Amino acid sequence: MHEWSIADSIVATLLQLVERGGISQPIKRVVIQVGKLVQIEKDILLFALRELSKNTPLERTEFVLKEEDTVFRCNNCGYTWSWDDVVKELEREIQDKDLRKAYLESMHMVPSMIYAFNKCPRCGSTDFEIIKGFDLSIEKIETQ
């Protein structure tokens, strides 16, 4: 549940852009893209962004979150799979709900930890790429 920290850093970074003259016009809309792997609580992040923007030049900025599926590709056999497959596999492999929740929380906090819990469903290799939906990024900043 580090949505507030993420929101705080997004707001701080945007305000720095404004203060340093990187953006001269008021910011109308910010589109944030987030991979499913990050398991963001969207409502909390949006609420935090709005709260932290109050009484700043971002007060009227609209924040939009776009969730993107996380897709993996095996470097060994070329197979591709998605975040939902990872979750299903975890449910199958780990019966203890609390432990499963702890592992998902680990990936929420440090998404790269997926490498400890994931492998190619076809050949079993851990040599895979995350071809999309790895991180959280600011996709677009629209000014007025």
Q: At closest approach, how far in Å is the CB of 28 from other proteins?
A: 20
Chain positions 74 to 133 lying near other proteins, rule: CB under 8 A, are 99, 102-103, 105-106, 109-113, 115-117, 126-127, 130
What amino acid occupies position 123?
C
Between the two ends of the chain, the Cα-to-Cα distance in Å is 33
Q: At closest approach, how far in Å is the CB of 13 from other proteins?
A: 5
What is d(CA 13, CA 4) in angstroms, rounded to the nearest whole number? 14
What is d(CA 142, CA 144) in angstroms, rounded to the nearest whole number? 7
- Give the Cβ contact number of residue 19 at 10 Å: 10
Which listed residue (64, 77, 123, 138) binds other proteins by CB under 8 A?
138
Q: At closest approach, how far in Å is the CB of 25 from other proteins?
A: 20
Which listed residue (56, 76, 137, 143) binds other proteins by CB under 8 A?
137
Q: Please, which residues bridge with residue 66 across strands? A: 33
What is d(CA 134, CA 60) in angstroms, rounded to the nearest whole number? 29
Which residues in this chain contact other proteins in the complex, by CB under 8 A? 1-2, 5-6, 8-10, 12-13, 16, 99, 102-103, 105-106, 109-113, 115-117, 126-127, 130, 134-138
